[in-house]
Amino acid sequence: MSSPITKTDLEFLKRFSMLIGVLALMALAFILLAHYIYTKHPAQPSPAADKVVQDRLAPVGDSYAGDTGRAAMLAAEEARKKAAAAQVAFGGSTDPKVIYDGLCFACHNTGASGAPKMDDKADWGPRLAQGADTLIKHATEGFTGKKGVMPPRGGNPSINDEQIKVTVHWMMDHFK
Protein backbone atom coordinates (compact mmCIF):
# COMPACT_ATOMS: atom_id res chain seq x y z
CA MET A 1 0.00 0.00 0.00
CA SER A 2 1.32 3.42 -0.89
CA SER A 3 1.42 6.51 1.32
CA PRO A 4 -1.42 9.01 0.77
CA ILE A 5 1.10 11.90 1.12
CA THR A 6 3.21 12.57 -1.94
CA LYS A 7 6.88 13.48 -1.89
CA THR A 8 6.05 17.04 -2.88
CA ASP A 9 3.66 17.41 0.04
CA LEU A 10 6.25 16.01 2.45
CA GLU A 11 8.84 18.47 1.18
CA PHE A 12 6.37 21.37 1.60
CA LEU A 13 5.49 20.29 5.16
CA LYS A 14 9.17 19.98 6.04
CA ARG A 15 10.02 23.46 4.76
CA PHE A 16 6.85 25.03 6.23
CA SER A 17 7.62 23.53 9.67
CA MET A 18 11.14 24.91 9.49
CA LEU A 19 9.79 28.35 8.55
CA ILE A 20 7.35 28.32 11.50
CA GLY A 21 10.16 27.23 13.83
CA VAL A 22 12.47 30.03 12.62
CA LEU A 23 9.69 32.61 13.00
CA ALA A 24 8.93 31.37 16.54
CA LEU A 25 12.62 31.62 17.47
CA MET A 26 12.79 35.15 16.02
CA ALA A 27 9.71 36.19 18.00
CA LEU A 28 11.23 34.77 21.19
CA ALA A 29 14.49 36.60 20.43
CA PHE A 30 12.64 39.91 19.95
CA ILE A 31 10.72 39.42 23.19
CA LEU A 32 13.95 38.73 25.12
CA LEU A 33 15.66 41.71 23.46
CA ALA A 34 12.74 44.02 24.37
CA HIS A 35 12.78 42.75 27.95
CA TYR A 36 16.54 43.39 28.20
CA ILE A 37 16.22 46.91 26.76
CA TYR A 38 13.26 47.77 29.01
CA THR A 39 15.06 46.61 32.18
CA LYS A 40 18.13 48.70 31.28
CA HIS A 41 16.09 51.78 30.24
CA PRO A 42 12.65 51.72 31.89
CA ALA A 43 9.97 54.07 30.55
CA GLN A 44 9.56 57.34 32.41
CA PRO A 45 6.25 57.57 34.29
CA SER A 46 3.81 60.16 33.00
CA PRO A 47 3.77 63.27 35.22
CA ALA A 48 -0.02 63.34 35.06
CA ALA A 49 -0.45 59.62 35.78
CA ASP A 50 -0.29 60.03 39.58
CA LYS A 51 -2.83 62.87 39.48
CA VAL A 52 -5.19 60.78 37.32
CA VAL A 53 -4.99 57.91 39.80
CA GLN A 54 -5.55 60.23 42.79
CA ASP A 55 -8.55 61.86 41.09
CA ARG A 56 -10.03 58.47 40.32
CA LEU A 57 -9.59 57.31 43.92
CA ALA A 58 -10.84 60.54 45.54
CA PRO A 59 -14.28 60.31 47.16
CA VAL A 60 -17.16 61.84 45.25
CA GLY A 61 -18.66 63.62 48.26
CA ASP A 62 -18.30 64.11 51.95
CA SER A 63 -20.27 62.33 54.62
CA TYR A 64 -21.05 63.43 58.14
CA ALA A 65 -21.50 61.16 61.12
CA GLY A 66 -22.65 61.73 64.67
CA ASP A 67 -23.04 65.02 66.51
CA THR A 68 -19.78 66.40 65.21
CA GLY A 69 -20.86 65.62 61.67
CA ARG A 70 -24.28 67.14 62.26
CA ALA A 71 -22.68 70.34 63.55
CA ALA A 72 -20.41 70.49 60.51
CA MET A 73 -23.36 69.88 58.21
CA LEU A 74 -25.35 72.69 59.85
CA ALA A 75 -22.35 75.02 59.67
CA ALA A 76 -21.93 74.25 55.98
CA GLU A 77 -25.63 74.90 55.34
CA GLU A 78 -25.42 78.22 57.20
CA ALA A 79 -22.35 79.21 55.19
CA ARG A 80 -24.20 78.32 51.98
CA LYS A 81 -27.16 80.48 53.01
CA LYS A 82 -24.88 83.42 53.85
CA ALA A 83 -23.12 83.09 50.51
CA ALA A 84 -26.47 83.02 48.70
CA ALA A 85 -27.70 86.05 50.65
CA ALA A 86 -24.53 87.94 49.77
CA GLN A 87 -25.34 87.61 46.09
CA VAL A 88 -28.31 89.87 45.42
CA ALA A 89 -30.59 88.81 42.60
CA PHE A 90 -31.13 90.92 39.49
CA GLY A 91 -28.00 92.96 40.22
CA GLY A 92 -29.67 94.55 43.25
CA SER A 93 -32.35 96.18 41.08
CA THR A 94 -35.50 97.29 42.91
CA ASP A 95 -37.44 97.73 39.68
CA PRO A 96 -40.51 95.57 40.34
CA LYS A 97 -41.15 94.97 36.63
CA VAL A 98 -37.63 93.52 36.20
CA ILE A 99 -38.07 91.29 39.26
CA TYR A 100 -41.58 90.18 38.23
CA ASP A 101 -40.49 89.37 34.67
CA GLY A 102 -37.41 87.51 35.89
CA LEU A 103 -38.94 85.52 38.76
CA CYS A 104 -42.64 85.91 39.50
CA PHE A 105 -43.83 85.72 35.89
CA ALA A 106 -43.31 81.95 35.65
CA CYS A 107 -46.00 81.14 38.21
CA HIS A 108 -48.25 84.20 38.29
CA ASN A 109 -48.89 84.23 34.54
CA THR A 110 -49.50 80.48 34.25
CA GLY A 111 -51.11 79.68 37.60
CA ALA A 112 -48.43 77.09 38.39
CA SER A 113 -48.69 75.54 41.88
CA GLY A 114 -52.02 77.32 42.40
CA ALA A 115 -50.50 80.82 42.09
CA PRO A 116 -53.10 83.52 41.42
CA LYS A 117 -52.79 84.78 37.84
CA MET A 118 -52.11 88.45 37.30
CA ASP A 119 -55.14 88.76 35.00
CA ASP A 120 -57.59 87.18 37.50
CA LYS A 121 -58.88 89.88 39.85
CA ALA A 122 -61.34 87.48 41.54
CA ASP A 123 -58.51 85.16 42.55
CA TRP A 124 -56.55 88.07 44.03
CA GLY A 125 -59.47 89.57 45.99
CA PRO A 126 -59.16 87.44 49.15
CA ARG A 127 -55.38 87.75 49.08
CA LEU A 128 -55.45 91.55 48.75
CA ALA A 129 -57.87 91.70 51.70
CA GLN A 130 -55.16 90.17 53.91
CA GLY A 131 -53.02 93.28 53.47
CA ALA A 132 -49.56 94.06 52.22
CA ASP A 133 -47.74 92.92 55.36
CA THR A 134 -49.23 89.42 55.15
CA LEU A 135 -48.50 89.10 51.45
CA ILE A 136 -44.92 90.28 51.96
CA LYS A 137 -44.52 87.77 54.79
CA HIS A 138 -45.86 84.95 52.59
CA ALA A 139 -43.58 85.97 49.73
CA THR A 140 -40.57 86.14 52.06
CA GLU A 141 -41.11 83.06 54.24
CA GLY A 142 -43.20 80.97 51.87
CA PHE A 143 -46.78 79.83 52.30
CA THR A 144 -48.81 76.68 51.79
CA GLY A 145 -52.53 77.24 51.50
CA LYS A 146 -55.65 75.41 50.31
CA LYS A 147 -55.27 76.69 46.76
CA GLY A 148 -51.52 76.54 46.29
CA VAL A 149 -47.94 76.98 47.41
CA MET A 150 -45.71 80.06 47.48
CA PRO A 151 -42.03 79.07 47.85
CA PRO A 152 -39.88 81.23 50.15
CA ARG A 153 -38.52 84.23 48.24
CA GLY A 154 -40.23 82.98 45.11
CA GLY A 155 -37.74 80.12 44.91
CA ASN A 156 -34.73 82.46 44.64
CA PRO A 157 -32.84 82.70 47.96
CA SER A 158 -30.71 85.59 46.71
CA ILE A 159 -33.62 88.03 46.32
CA ASN A 160 -33.55 90.50 49.22
CA ASP A 161 -36.38 91.82 51.40
CA GLU A 162 -36.52 95.21 49.69
CA GLN A 163 -36.91 93.57 46.29
CA ILE A 164 -39.75 91.41 47.60
CA LYS A 165 -41.48 94.39 49.19
CA VAL A 166 -41.45 96.60 46.09
CA THR A 167 -42.57 93.75 43.87
CA VAL A 168 -45.49 92.79 46.14
CA HIS A 169 -46.62 96.42 46.28
CA TRP A 170 -46.33 96.69 42.49
CA MET A 171 -48.44 93.54 42.05
CA MET A 172 -51.05 94.88 44.51
CA ASP A 173 -51.13 98.24 42.67
CA HIS A 174 -51.91 96.32 39.48
CA PHE A 175 -55.43 95.65 40.87
CA LYS A 176 -56.19 99.15 42.19
Residue 100 lies in a domain: yes
Residue type, 22: V
Whether 18 maps to a domain, the answer reads no
Q: pTM for this structure?
A: 0.51
Q: Give a yes or no: residue 149 inside a domain.
A: yes
Q: Which domain holds residue 103?
A: 95-173
pLDDT tens series, the chain, 176 aa: 577 888 899 999 999 999 999 999 999 999 999 999 988 887 777 778 878 888 888 777 666 566 667 787 888 888 887 776 667 777 777 888 888 888 888 888 888 888 888 888 888 888 888 898 988 998 899 888 887 888 898 888 888 888 889 998 988 888 77
Note whether residue 130 is domain-resident.
Answer: yes
Domains: count for the chain? 1
Assigned domain for 28 exists: no
DSSP state, residue 42: P
CATH number for the domain that contains residue 129: 1.10.760.10
Query: How far apart are the C-alpha atoms of 118 and 109, rounded to whole Å?
Result: 6
